[in-house]
Amino acid sequence: MSDPQAAPAAAHEAKEAPRCRCGHGLDHLMVSQIPAYTGWQTFLVFFAGVSTAPERIDYQCRVCREVFHSTTDADVLRDHH
């Protein structure tokens, strides 16, 4: 495709589906979803044994180690509760 009109569509698609440098998407087998906790949440989870939803989920590729996406979407966080 040499049509310059195609460029914005491609950019939009890339934004919809983030990928790491080696091309793995969010749901790929080699991509870990790593919960990120705030300081007091870390205390609750690891010292008090309380289950709490993380502040953020980071998506890290286990091949290239790149954290290529993160989300604070409440629905996603609830899955990691």
Nearer to Zn ion, 7 or 64 (CB): 64
Tokens standing for 31?
Answer: 């991509």
- Contact status, residue 21 vs residue 51, Cβ threshold 8 Å: no
Residues in contact with Zn ion by the rule CB under 5 A = 20, 22, 24, 61, 63-64
- Which residue lies nearer to Zn ion by CB, 44 or 63? 63
User: Which residue in the shown chain puts its C-beta closest to Zn ion?
Assistant: 61
**Residue 29: both structure tokens together:** 């087998």
């954290």: which residue's tokens? Answer: 67
State phi, psi for 78 to the nearest 5 degrees.
-65, -30
Residue 43 Cβ vs Zn ion, minimum distance, rounded to whole Å: 32
Nearer residue to Zn ion within complex by CB, 34 or 44: 34
**CB 26 → Zn ion: shortest distance, Å?**
12
CB 44, min distance to Zn ion, A: 32
CA 17 to CA 27: how far, in whole Å?
10
